[in-house]
Amino acid sequence: SDEDSDEDAEEKKKCPEDWYNFEDQCFIFIETEKTWAQAEFYCQYDGANLASVHSLEENVFVQSLTRGDSHNFPETWLGGTDATHPDFWLWTDGSSFQYENWQDDDHKDKDAHCLKTNYEFNLKWTAAPC
């Protein structure tokens, strides 16, 4: 019935203008170049965090946002870090790290503690200096 569809629409999380919804999470891509810490602070100032990614579908969605009008995929920060406990990756929003899309094992035992996506030609994740 119409009432049910109205309720479903209301239950769906509304995102601020210029943000995009994926499974009740809101995302925005900021093109300004920043360090990982600057980017996370920028997000927190807006009441958000750098993106956490929990599935292949969400990863593809986030990549599509980074593509923008340029039709290339710039390396982009995600909210993953192992700065607190090396080789134990966490998301800054506190969610669990159950999906991974690493480029080989280049994130292990590396002096690089922040997560970037769109790495090299296969668009995988890599650990990068913060």
pLDDT in tens, 79-122: 999 999 888 999 999 998 999 999 887 677 678 999 999 877 67
What pLDDT shows up at residue 8? 53
% of the chain beyond a pLDDT of 70: 85
The mean pLDDT value for 57-62 works out to 94
| pTM of the predicted model over 0.85 | no
- Max CA pair span of the chain: 56
61 residue type, one letter: F
Beta carbons of 90 and 81 less than 8 angstroms apart: yes
What pLDDT shows up at residue 5? 46
Query: Which range (25-34, 59-68, 69-78, 99-108) has the least confidence?
Result: 69-78
94 residue type, one letter: G
Strands 20-22, 25-27: pairing kind: antiparallel
Average confidence score pLDDT of the chain: 86
C-alpha span between 69 and 46 (Å, rounded): 24
Strands 20-22, 90-91: pairing kind: unpaired
**Class of the CATH domain delimited by 36-128:** alpha beta
Beta carbons of 76 and 29 less than 8 angstroms apart: yes
C-alpha span between 35 and 94 (Å, rounded): 20
What is the gyration radius of the CA atoms in the chain, in angstroms?
16
CA distances (Å), 11 to each of 4, 6, 7, 18, in order? 11, 9, 6, 20
